């Protein structure tokens, strides 16, 4: 056996990480940061590379190896991704120290103080930017609905932050698509503080609308980019129209009406059936209510007309057994003309929509009156709630859904749902649980089934630093997924610029990923030709401007100082940067690490010994032969 020892010497690794976010470009020393500082860093790297291994990185919302000078175009600053990346890249390596060049401003991720707790090397920070407090006015924390209906007013709320501001009132204006539509005064402002402003705007134009709030600047204000904020509202042309008809006055009607009216997406008309003389054409859903104990209203021409129009229908209460359509939904009769008191029990195998917490809470609500002669489930139904009579859970449906010829139908066989609304308030302090339950049921039945052969989907809103994904599905006449044809996509921004793409085939569908787009509202048209037919899908989405870096430009040198102290490093000023190589050299904890490697090998595996012995034996044989010894 032979034992070998080899010695490996690893130089200390010095990491230089430079903030590449937009706030670095907004400070008063930005000119020096873009030119003079970069020259000094190059000189430092050259000096350190003689005795150390130097690794350079840029970071903003992501980390990249520095191949060129930074352009300070990052939209977000996240120290988390930097320290996590360093920890992963240099695990069990001889890292001597990190030089962090930043203004200390971060707007995403955890505090760097907590992110650096697991790092085992010193951090040297170089504070750039201006940490002087200047006069400033900021618009921040805007809150609004994403949807509004044409002709309605919608509320807007935002915070106005003032710093060293000498005026107590400021004027702000609201613009829609570059046109000023409203001006308002913000009063009682403090020199340093936050004041919440509220206003109401009227939805006057259909579609995705960009609004901008701009606050007037004050004397001495240096950063006016944070005096404005953009937001987007999707203005709809109209709500879904619902019709609620009761066969007779009943407290259930008031509860159902209150639950539907709590959702601004619906416009509800309610009436007694015999008094309603309007047309059913304009309604997206008709809700009928009848008491199980009351007088059963006979089938008339109006009811026949309603059923014949194939409108989405939700039947509530009892007394519907003389309608053939209801028999299809509810199943066959048991023959008994009695009523039960039944609580709701959630059917866990229900799959038409998500069973959330609000649906499950109805299990604790009081029992409802149900008919015992219409409780046998037919095969075409999907049951959400079954009846629990006393302590016995039955298979009899309380709330079930049925789809017939692409028309959705619902059957709620319980009467007394007004008690559920009262229980919601008693148990949870508001009617919200009841309202959301009613809204979920109504939403499923009212939404029309998508039976189109070509479908395209994407997000409605995203930020400019996010990728946008499109997915498309193409069906043959048997509703089987195919992707034999090409799918073309054309985008058009607000200025009329067009962008053309071809979707990629993925499995049996189509996909497209666009890394980023400029802020704007885009309309898209996807087209394909399949089996001699042309299919087209249109839509709109908004790419929002990301202005986080412009909100706060005051450098946070205190944070950089804390990072340096907690890691046993130092904070440097711009005039001390040239001393960094000397500081590293003088530190005893930044030194090369020697690794001793031991290797054992069998001699029999050393082929050169075999050939040496063979040569020696051959030479000996030749000499003896020549000398006559053999």
| Beta pairing, strands 2-10 & 63-65 | unpaired
- Averaged pLDDT, 521-543: 91
Final residue belonging to a domain, choices 446, 469, 488? 446
Instruction: List, in sequence order, every residue forming a beta bridge with 533; answer none if it has no partner.
Output: 530
Which tens digit of pLDDT belongs to each residue from 239-271?
788 999 988 899 999 999 999 998 877 889 999
pTM: 0.61
Q: How far apart are CA 471 and CA 263, in angstroms?
A: 30
- Averaged pLDDT, 543-572: 87
Residue 376: its pLDDT value, please?
46
**Residues 153 and 203 reside in one and the same domain:** yes
Instruction: List, in sequence order, every residue forming a beta bridge with 407; answer none if it has no partner.
Output: 404
**Residues 120 and 269 reside in one and the same domain:** no
Domain hosting residue 224, numbered range: 136-236
**Residues 200 and 263 reside in one and the same domain:** no
182 contacts: CB under 8 Å, gap ≥ 6: 173, 174, 199, 201
Final residue belonging to a domain, choices 180, 208, 236? 236
Residue 628 domain flag: no
**Residues 503 and 421 reside in one and the same domain:** no
Nearest CA among 156, 138, 151, 140 for reference residue 232: 156
Residue 500: its pLDDT value, please?
95
Residue 602: its pLDDT value, please?
84
Task: For residue 430, give Cα distances in angstroms to 355, 427, 434.
Answer: 21, 8, 9
Residue 528: its pLDDT value, please?
94
Residue 615 domain flag: no
**Residues 287 and 422 reside in one and the same domain:** yes
pLDDT(566) > 60: yes
Residue 601: its pLDDT value, please?
80
**Residues 108 and 190 reside in one and the same domain:** no
**Residues 257 and 343 reside in one and the same domain:** yes
DSSP secondary structure code for residue 21 in this structure: B
Residue 614 domain flag: no
Domain of 424, CATH number, reads 3.40.50.880
Residue 609 domain flag: no
Residue 617 domain flag: no
- Averaged pLDDT, 165-194: 91
Band (178; pLDDT cuts 50, 70, 90): confident
Residue 127 domain flag: yes
What three-state secondary structure class fits 100?
A: strand
Number of structural domains (the chain) is: 4
Q: Decide: residue 588, CB within 10 A, 0-12 exposed, 13-18 middle, 19+ buried.
A: exposed
**Residues 79 and 14 reside in one and the same domain:** yes
Final residue belonging to a domain, choices 173, 205, 236? 236
255 contacts: CB under 8 Å, gap ≥ 6: 417, 418, 420, 421, 434
**Residues 570 and 425 reside in one and the same domain:** no
Which tens digit of pLDDT belongs to each residue from 455-464?
998 888 888 8
pLDDT(327) > 60: no
**Residues 232 and 248 reside in one and the same domain:** no
Domain of 64, CATH number, reads 3.40.50.410
Which tens digit of pLDDT belongs to each residue from 135-162?
889 998 898 888 888 888 889 999 999 9
Domain of 469, CATH number, reads 2.60.40.10
Which tens digit of pLDDT belongs to each residue from 395-433?
888 898 887 766 788 889 889 999 999 999 999 999 999
Residue 612 domain flag: no
Cα Dmax for the chain: 138
**Residues 205 and 93 reside in one and the same domain:** no
Which tens digit of pLDDT belongs to each residue from 363-397?
999 999 887 655 444 455 788 999 999 888 888 88
Residue 605 domain flag: no
**Residues 410 and 371 reside in one and the same domain:** yes
Is the four-CA dihedral 37, 39, 44, 45 of positive or negative sign? positive
pLDDT(296) > 80: no
């Amino acid at each position: 056996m032979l034992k070998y020892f080899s010695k490996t010497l690893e130089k200390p690794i010095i990491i230089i990480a430079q903030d590449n976010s937009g706030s670095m470009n907004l400070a008063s020393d930005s000119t020096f940061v873009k030119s003079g500082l970069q020259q000094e860093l190059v000189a430092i790297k050259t000096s350190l590379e003689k005795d150390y291994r130097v690794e350079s990185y840029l970071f903003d919302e992501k980390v990249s190896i520095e191949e060129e000078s930074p352009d300070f175009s990052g939209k977000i600053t996240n120290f988390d991704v930097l320290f996590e990346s360093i920890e992963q890249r240099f695990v069990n390596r001889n890292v001597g120290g990190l030089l962090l060049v930043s203004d200390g401003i971060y707007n995403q991720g955890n505090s760097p103080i907590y992110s650096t707790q697991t790092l085992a090397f010193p951090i040297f920070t170089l504070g750039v930017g201006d940490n002087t407090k200047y006069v400033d006015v900021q618009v921040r924390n805007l809150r609004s609905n994403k949807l509004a209906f044409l002709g309605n007013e919608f509320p807007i709320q935002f915070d106005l932050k003032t710093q060293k501001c000498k005026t107590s009132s400021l004027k702000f204006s609201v613009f829609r698509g570059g046109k000023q539509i409203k001006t308002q005064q913000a009063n009682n402002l403090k020199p340093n503080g936050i004041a919440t402003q509220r206003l109401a705007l009227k939805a006057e134009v259909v579609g995705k609308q960009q609004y901008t709030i701009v606050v007037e600047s004050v004397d001495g204000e240096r950063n006016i980019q944070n005096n404005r904020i953009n937001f987007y509202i999707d203005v709809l042309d109209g709500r879904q129209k619902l019709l609620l008809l009761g066969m007779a006055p009943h407290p259930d009607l008031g509860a159902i009406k209150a639950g539907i009216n709590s959702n601004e997406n619906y416009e509800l008309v309610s009436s007694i059936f015999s008094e309603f003389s309007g047309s059913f054409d304009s309604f997206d859903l008709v809700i009928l209510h009848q008491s199980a104990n009351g007088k059963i209203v006979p089938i008339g021409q109006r009811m026949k007309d309603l059923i014949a129009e194939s409108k989405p229908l939700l039947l509530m209460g009892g007394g519907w057994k003389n309608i053939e359509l209801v028999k299809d939904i509810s199943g066959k009769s048991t023959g008994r003309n009695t009523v039960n008191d039944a609580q709701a029990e959630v059917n866990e195998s229900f799959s038409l929509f998500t069973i959330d917490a609000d649906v499950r809470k109805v299990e604790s609500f009081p029992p409802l009156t149900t008919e015992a002669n219409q409780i046998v489930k037919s095969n075409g139904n999907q049951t959400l709630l079954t009846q629990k009579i006393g302590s016995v859970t039955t298979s009899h449906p309380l709330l079930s859904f049925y789809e017939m010829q692409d028309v959705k139908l619902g059957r709620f066989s319980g009467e007394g749902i007004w008690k559920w609304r009262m229980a919601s308030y008693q148990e949870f302090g508001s009617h919200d649980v009841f309202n959301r339950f009613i809204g979920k049921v109504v939403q499923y039945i009212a939404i029309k089934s998508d039976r189109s052969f070509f479908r395209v989907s994407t997000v409605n809103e995203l930020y400019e630093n996010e990728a946008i994904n499109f997915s498309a599905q193409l069906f043959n006449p048997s509703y089987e997924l195919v992707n034999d044809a090409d799918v073309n996509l054309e985008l058009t921004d607000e200025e009329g610029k067009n962008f053309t793409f071809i979707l990629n085939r993925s499995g049996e569908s189509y996909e497209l990923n666009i890394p980023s787009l400029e802020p704007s509202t885009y309309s898209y048209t996807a087209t394909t030709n399949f089996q001699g037919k042309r299919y087209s899908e249109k839509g709109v989405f908004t790419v929002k401007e990301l202005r986080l870096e412009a909100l706060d430009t005051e450098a946070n040198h205190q944070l950089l100082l804390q990072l340096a102290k907690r890691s046993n490093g130092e904070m440097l000023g711009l005039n001390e940067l040239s001393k960094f190589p000397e500081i590293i050299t003088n530190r005893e904890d930044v030194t090369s690490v020697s690794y001793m490697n031991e290797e054992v090998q069998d001699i029999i595996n050393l082929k050169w010994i075999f050939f040496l012995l063979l040569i020696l034996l051959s030479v000996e044989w030749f000499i003896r032969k020549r000398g006559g010894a053999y």
